Amino acid sequence: AQKITQTQPGMFVQEKEAVTLDCTYDTSDQSYGLFWYKQPSSGEMIFLIYQGSYDEQNATEGRYSLNFQKARKSANLVISASQLGDSAMYFCAMREGVGGADGLTFGKGTHLIIQP
């Protein structure tokens, strides 16, 4: 079974609209972390936002917010007021366990295209 599922291979969104990118995860660990990364065509991985499993508040970073629904094992990324520069691949990822010693498991990604 996939640990991270992103069901939207591609999305087209009008500039200035809000975007929700879906992510569900599967783990039996009580302690885990959820990440979202942006990967433009250059290939670099740009960290957007992090949510720890024990964090009660949804994480926010500027125009990015993470809609964390623990019972549903869902960690959707919301981008408010989308911009042309937001066009890229977006990956949801999870690290299981404590301490940060483990690498990340990534979903297949969503290719987001912002249209003017």
Q: In the complex, which residues of this chain contact other proteins (CB under 8 A)?
A: 33, 35, 37, 42-45, 47, 50, 52, 91, 93, 95, 98-109
Neighbouring CB atoms inside 10 A of 25's CB total 21
As a whole number of angstroms, the distance between CA 14 and CA 26 comes to 31
What's the closest the beta carbon of residue 3 comes to other proteins, in angstroms?
Answer: 11
Which is closer to other proteins, CB of 99 or CB of 116? 99
Which is closer to other proteins, CB of 71 or CB of 101? 101
Please check whether residue 94 is in contact with residue 35, taking contact to mean a CB–CB distance below 8 angstroms. yes
